[in-house]
C-alpha cells in the first residue's frame, strides 16, 4: 500500500496495490496489520455507505467529544472531491483544509482523523461511497460547518446553482462561529 502525505500531515491518502488481469482486478481495501505497521491504530467499528447524485455536496460534518470519529473513505463507483478541514484549535493547520479527488478508478482512500470536519462533492453522474468509522454515530454529538463558509472558501468543483445541499447542511456553523467555541 502506498501512502501519500498531504499538506496536513494527519490526513493521509492510501493507494492500494491493485492486481489486474483479463478477468478484472483485486485489491485489499483494508488490512488492520498493514495500517498498524504504519502507525494507524484506529479500531474501526462501523461501516457506512452513501449514494449521491452529481452536484451533491455533503458536509462539513463532525462529531464532538467522546463520539468524535476518524473515517477511512473510499469510492465504490464514481468520482468525488473529498475535503477535510482541520478544526483542532491548537493545531498549526487550524482552519486549513485538504481537498483531493478520489474515484473508483484511482482506488485511493483517505484517512480523516479526529478533529476534522469532513465533506465531499460528487463530480461524476453519481457516486457510491463507503467509509469506516472508529466510533459509533451519536445524533446528540453531530455538528457541521457551512459548506460555503466564506473564510474557508472551498472550491467544491461544482457550480453553486447546480449544488444539491440538504436543509441540515445549510444550517451549519460558520467557521467564525466554530472558532468562538471550538470542541477540539
Active site residues: 61, 131
* Three-class secondary structure of residue 75 per DSSP: strand
Task: Give the β-pairing of 46-53 and 24-26.
Answer: unpaired
CA nearest neighbour of 24 among 107, 121, 91, 132:
107
- Burial-class residue 20 by CB neighbours within 10 Å (0-12, 13-18, 19+): exposed
Among 82, 35, 43, 88, which residue's Cα sits nearest to residue 59?
A: 82
Given the DSSP bridges, would you call strands 97-103 and 126-133 parallel, antiparallel or unpaired? unpaired
- Sequential DSSP letters for 82-96: EEEEE--TTSTTTT-
SS3 66: helix
Amino acid at each position: 500500500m502506498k501512502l501519500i502525505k498531504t499538506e496536513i500531515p494527519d490526513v493521509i491518502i492510501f493507494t492500494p496495490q491493485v492486481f489486474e488481469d483479463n478477468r478484472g482486478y483485486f485489491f485489499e481495501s483494508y488490512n488492520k496489520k498493514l495500517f498498524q505497521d504504519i502507525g494507524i491504530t484506529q479500531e474501526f467499528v462501523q461501516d457506512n455507505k452513501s449514494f449521491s447524485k452529481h452536484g451533491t455536496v455533503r458536509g462539513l460534518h463532525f462529531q464532538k467529544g467522546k463520539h468524535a470519529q476518524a473515517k477511512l473513505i473510499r469510492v465504490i463507483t464514481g468520482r468525488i472531491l473529498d475535503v477535510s478541514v482541520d478544526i483542532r484549535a491548537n493545531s498549526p493547520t487550524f482552519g486549513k483544509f485538504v481537498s483531493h479527488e478520489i474515484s473508483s478508478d484511482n482506488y485511493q482512500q483517505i484517512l480523516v482523523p479526529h478533529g476534522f470536519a469532513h465533506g465531499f462533492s460528487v463530480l461524476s453522474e453519481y457516486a457510491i461511497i463507503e467509509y469506516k468509522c472508529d466510533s459509533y454515530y451519536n445524533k446528540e454529538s453531530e455538528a457541521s460547518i457551512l459548506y460555503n463558509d466564506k473564510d474557508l472558501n472551498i472550491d467544491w468543483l461544482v457550480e453553486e446553482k447546480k449544488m444539491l445541499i440538504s436543509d441540515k447542511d445549510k444550517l451549519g456553523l460558520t467557521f467564525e462561529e466554530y472558532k468562538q467555541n471550538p470542541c477540539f
